[in-house]
Amino acid sequence: GDSVTQMEGPVTLSEEAFLTINCTYTATGYPSLFWYVQYPGEGLQLLLKATKADDKGSNKGFEATYRKETTSFHLEKGSVQVSDSAVYFCALLYSGGYQKVTFGTGTKLQVIP
């Protein structure tokens, strides 16, 4: 079955550090890939997405590239801020009639001043 694997957290970084959160997936076919962010006590917000191989999704300084050859969708940001502290979920969704989003377990990011 489909699955998404994320690096375990928590990840603790100092402000302005470089961020990478690894995400790999297993899927039969060509899903769309997403990163969602969840701030404490809130729901999930769509951060960015990519719908086909080599697409790069970007938003708010975050970016991720859909790598079909390595089945990966790693999240990166060049300079994190304290306000980026949250849980980040990698996810996939098929466009072939299977509408359920499959989520990774989430990676908690803590950014300290």
Partner 1 sequence: NAGVMQNPRHLVRRRGQEARLRCSPMKGHSHVYWYRQLPEEGLKFMVYLQKENIIDESGMPKERFSAEFPKEGPSILRIQQVVRGDSAAYFCASSPPSEGETQYFGPGTRLLVL
Site residues (CB under 8 A) for partner 1?
32, 34, 36, 42-46, 49, 89, 93-106
Q: In terms of CB distance, is 68 or 78 closer to partner 1?
A: 68
Q: In terms of CB distance, is 97 or 113 closer to partner 1?
A: 97
Beta carbon of residue 78, minimum distance to partner 1 (angstroms, whole number): 25
Q: Is 16 left (phi over 0), alpha (psi -120 to 50) or beta?
A: left
Q: In terms of CB distance, is 42 or 69 closer to partner 1?
A: 42
**For residues 60 and 32, what is the distance between their CA atoms, to the nearest angstrom?**
20
Query: Counting beta carbons within 10 angstroms of the beta carbon of residue 33, is it exposed (0 to 12), middle (13 to 18) or buried (19 or more)?
Result: buried
